[in-house]
Structures are given as structure tokens and as C-alpha cells.
Amino acid sequence: MNVTEALATRMSCRAFLPTPVPEATVRAILDAARQAPSGGNLQPWRAYALTGAPLAELIALVRSRLPTHPRGEEPEYEIYPPGLWEPYRSRRFKCGEDLYATIGVSREDKLARLLQFARNYEFFGAPVGLFFCLDRRLGPPQWSDIGMYMQSVMLLAREHGLDTCAQEAWSAWHRTVGEYLGVPSELMLFSGMALGYRDASAPINRLRTERAPLEEVASLRGF
């Protein structure tokens, strides 16, 4: 598989087969992703990988807290700025609508939407749950660095026949996750990520999101 194929076939997978992923594979992916660039070579990423009993225990812990804290814990960062404007607002809206349409859930069916969203906290059935943290004193440039590490993980996963879903949703449980994993206090949880084998028969995995055309996102001169 080349980079173009890895990019073209990566999608956010939201239903996985229970097939375990060998430790050597997870290790190889996280290891190779270290080659991601970072400003000043700071390498500000810190990854945690869970499978088996520890993963099940964390999922059960969050599940036990969801009824009393349906929105999770006090957020450490805002995923989107308040009052999101165009064109981002419409893109976000469409992505959500298209996602729920794959499983036949209407806008009005708030409960079904909530239940589907809560699947985030089960890593959508993936056998491996990843968490990505960075020093909370670092700023936007280092947040972009951690994004590059995560994208490297997602592309490498494709090379191993695996799929992923990056999950900012996990940031809502930063305290629970941090305590459970023993994350040093200077690190903050940016995102989770589900990793495993795609359930190709699951309707939710039929979603293919659109992208704005090249002319909207890039300008070329002097060629």
C-alpha cells in the first residue's frame, strides 16, 4: 500500500470486529509513527494503548458514570469555538446528518443519537483503545504536531489492514481516563482513537464524508 492508497482508504470506522490486534502490530504502528515531524523536533505526543481487561475495565468505569454525568467532566478544552460559523458550521452539520442517516436515525430521535454517541465510550467495539496526550503548557503549534502523529498512526494502521476512528469525544472523560492510566499531571488528554478491524457489514461504516474542492482550500501561483 502506498501513501495515496492509505489516505484514500482511511475513514472513520465506527463499528469493529472483535478480532484482537497483536501487541507487536500496535507497537509497530506507534513506533513507526514516531517519525512524524514536529516543530523544533519537540515530539510532544504521548500515547497510551489499552486492550483486553484494562480496556474493558475503563469502558465499564465510564459507563457507570455516564448516567449521572451524561456530558462527562468539565472540559479542558473546547472542541469547537462557540457559535461556529460558515463554512464550518454546515460541514459539521452535514457530517452529523449523514452519519445518523446511515443507521436510520432522524434528527428528532434524540435518544437514539445519544446512544450512538455513547458508543464512542466503547471505542465502537474496537479491540484496542488509544489515547493521545500532550503537555498542557504547550500551544497550538504543538497541537498540530500531535495531529501529525495521530494521522501517521491512522495511515500506518491502514498499511496493517486496520482501521481507526479519532475520538475527541474522550476528552469529556479526561479526569477518569487520566486517573485510570496514571497520566502525569502536566499532561492533558487530547483525543482517544479506536483501532481494529473494520466491520464492513455495519451500515455506519458506509459513511463517506465529502471534501471541499482543491480550489477552495489551496492556491497555486507561478506554475
Ligand X SMILES: Cc1cc2nc3c(=O)[nH]c(=O)nc-3n(C[C@H](O)[C@H](O)[C@H](O)COP(=O)(O)O)c2cc1C
CA dihedral 126, 127, 133, 139 (to 10 degrees): -30
CB nearer to ligand X: give 25 or 102. 102
In the region spanning residues 3 to 32, those forming contacts with ligand X, defined by CB under 6 A, are 11-12, 14
Query: Per-residue x/- marks for ligand X, 127-146, CB under 6 A?
Result: --------------------
Please report where in the chains the cell 498512526 appears, as a residue: 153
CB of 130: closest distance to ligand X in angstroms?
12
Provide the edge-to-edge strand list for the sheet that holds 46-51: 46-51, 128-135, 187-196, 163-167
Tell whether residue 166 is a contact of ligand X (CB under 6 A). yes
Please, what is the minimum distance in Å from the beta carbon of residue 169 to ligand X? 3
Q: At closest approach, how far in Å is the CB of 91 from ligand X?
A: 8
- Partnered with residue 198 across adjacent β-strands are 16
Please state, in angstroms and rounded to a whole number, the distance separating the CA atoms of residues 4 and 148: 16
**In the complex, least distance from residue 18 CB atom to ligand X, rounded to whole angstroms:** 19
What is the total count of residues that contact ligand X (CB under 6 A)?
12
**Among candidate residues 1, 8, 110, 127, the one with its CA nearest the CA of residue 59:** 127
Under rule CB under 6 A, residue 95 binds ligand X:
yes
The Cβ of residue 25 has, within 10 Å, a number of other Cβ atoms equal to 17
Cell numbers linked to 100: 445518523
Residue 169 interacting with ligand X (CB under 6 A)? yes
90 binds ligand X (CB under 6 A): no
Question: In the chain, where does DSSP find H-type helix?
Answer: 3-9, 23-32, 52-65, 88-102, 110-118, 140-159, 174-181, 214-217
- Least distance (Å) between residue 41 CB and ligand X: 22
Nearer to ligand X, 121 or 127 (CB): 121
Residue from 51, 120, 142, 152 touching ligand X (CB under 6 A): that is 120
Per 3-state DSSP, the chain is made up of helix, strand and coil in percentages (nearest 5) of 50, 15, 35
Binding site for ligand X (CB under 6 A): 11-12, 14, 95, 120, 165-169, 191, 209
